[in-house]
Amino acid sequence: MRRFWPFLGPLIFLLVWEGVTRGGFVAPLFLAGPAETLVTLFLLLREGALTADLLATFWRFASALSIAIGVGVPLGFLLSLSTAAYRGFELTLDFLRSIPSTALFPLALLVFGVHDASKIAVASFASVLIMTLATAFGVLHRSEARVLAARTMGATRAQLFRHVLLFESLPHVVAGARISASWCLAVVIVAEMFIGTLHGLGKRIVDAQISYDIPALYAIIVLAGLVGYTANYALVILERRYLHWSGK
């Protein structure tokens, strides 16, 4: 029976959605039912109408997340070399992280134009800072007992980093990556909606809204959610498989 518990939430959500639609609480012009939405999504995918848009969005999302991890993790390790360095830059990084990425759209357009680079740059901006802080936090809050044990056994700084600090930081790195993944996808889709592009789920959402194709509008939103959920679930599986020792 417990194996069905994870499906309870989605089932209740679909029932409430269907109830709101059938009850007339929202005009049909503005709300498509779950069955109509899922059928529309299936047809759009089967016909290949969303293939180019899905690939374009996924490419921008994957690029932004890769930059966030590739830049943020090394910066986090450098920042954690000393508590003083972390405290010295913590306020600045928190301030930069608090700047809404969407506020950088005009600057990104000036620097990179309307190409993919502008969307990727805006999406990776805050995510790099998230990864930096998550990595530094993980190293600075390591288990001192393990560090002391390694030093007692004569571990060099390189061995201490490789066998203790790296593993101590990995759970925080994965947690930061999950947050960054959600952030990157959200900003990429918003960028596709407001920065010119030929393909992208964000652009298709705007097109459906302009043409009042409500079933397609909700179908594309659901597809965007599935992309984000898949990325997050992949990181969860990675964490469970390779970081099963976390917290022990």
Q: What is the pTM of this model?
A: 0.87
Q: What is the rounded distance in angstroms from the CA atom of residue 72 to the CA atom of residue 153?
A: 31
178-200: per-residue pLDDT in tens?
Answer: 999 999 999 999 999 888 788 99
Contacts of 138 (CB under 8 A, 6+ apart): 76, 168, 169, 170, 171, 172, 173
The predicted structure's pLDDT at residue 246 = 62
Residue ranges in 80-213 assigned as alpha helix (H):
83-98, 105-112, 116-140, 144-152, 157-160, 166-194, 201-210
The DSSP line for 213-239 is -HHHHHHHHHHHHHHHHHHHHHHHHHH
Q: How many CB atoms lie within 10 A of CB 185?
A: 26
DSSP category for residue 211? T
The predicted structure's pLDDT at residue 245 = 61
Q: Which two tokens stand for residue 217?
A: 């509008």
The predicted structure's pLDDT at residue 226 = 94
* Residue at 172: amino acid letter: H
CATH class, domain 35-242, is mainly alpha
User: 57, 116 in Cβ contact below 8 A?
Assistant: no
The predicted structure's pLDDT at residue 171 = 87
Q: pLDDT band for position 149 (50/70/90)?
A: confident
Helix, strand and coil in the chain, % to nearest 5: 80, 0, 20
The predicted structure's pLDDT at residue 110 = 85
**Mean pLDDT, rounded, of the chain:** 86
SS3 45: helix
Which tops the pLDDT comparison, 243 or 77?
A: 77
135-147: per-residue pLDDT in tens?
Answer: 988 888 777 777 7
The predicted structure's pLDDT at residue 1 = 62
Q: Which two tokens stand for residue 67?
A: 């930059």
The predicted structure's pLDDT at residue 37 = 93
Which tops the pLDDT comparison, 103 or 27?
A: 103
The proportion of the chain whose per-residue pLDDT surpasses 90, expressed as a percent, equals 40
Give the phi and the psi of residue 132 in degrees, each rounded to 5.
-65, -50
The 10 Å CB-count burial string (b at 16+, else e) for 104-132 is: bbeebbeebeeebebbbbbbbbbbbbbbb
Q: What is the rounded distance in angstroms from the CA atom of residue 152 to the CA atom of residue 156?
A: 10
